[in-house]
Amino acid sequence: MSDLVLDHLVYAGPDLEEAVERVAELTGVTPVRGGRHVGFGTANYLADLGAGAYLEVVGPDPDQPEHIGPRPFGIDELTAPALITWAARVDGIDEAIAEARERGYDPGEASEMSRATDDGELLTWRLTGAGGLDGLAPFLIDWGSTPHPTTRGLPSIPLLMVTGVHPEAAAVESAVRALGMDMLVRRDTKPGLVAVLTNSAGKQVALS
């Protein structure tokens, strides 16, 4: 299997500006606008986490007010911003899906998605569904020939580690292992992800 690595963390909320403000208040760093997911009713802001990974802050796009149907990542059900899932980057997504299935975990089928930047560029990629086991098993993303978001000079919020909590911690760990990755997961009644970041003052802060 091609090496899978952390691509990005997804911090989503019912109000995009509020979610961006939460990150800025916690870290002292304000993510910058990424663009709009046309047809999906969402838009995002981005920050660099280091080591080729980034933070995506995503929420309803005020410029797509007439969106019909559910938005990605269960955004319509959220009552407050939360770290809801993560993505693993792969080169050759169909092969990675097949290998994960052979190892006992099905990450789902890959589909196309795109984002329009404010300067009119259309970025495209392929990805699986929004992450299994309450978002703790990552979804897969293959950027193909599209330049990675971290090549765009994003503001930096260094990531130290990501851990998870879940009622079925062992199931999450085995799913992540089936994808050729590792994550520490401890048992708890309510599922969730916790990212430990370095804020602008050099102190450790937790985003969950």
- Predicted structure pTM score: 0.96
Encoded amino acid at 66, one letter: E
Asked whether the beta carbons of 184 and 164 are under 8 A apart, the reply is yes
Cα gap 190→134, rounded to integer Å: 10
Cα 24 to Cα 17, 29, 30, distances in angstroms: 11, 5, 5
Q: How far apart are CA 36 and CA 45, in angstroms?
A: 10
Torsion, Cα 45 74 17 38, to 10 degrees, reads 60
Tens of pLDDT, residue by residue, the chain (208 residues): 557 999 999 999 999 999 999 999 999 999 999 999 999 999 999 999 999 999 999 999 999 988 999 999 999 999 999 999 999 999 999 999 999 999 999 999 999 999 999 999 999 999 998 778 999 999 999 999 999 999 999 999 999 999 999 999 999 999 999 999 999 999 999 999 999 999 999 999 999 9
Report how far Cα 90 is from the mean position of its chain's Cα atoms: 14
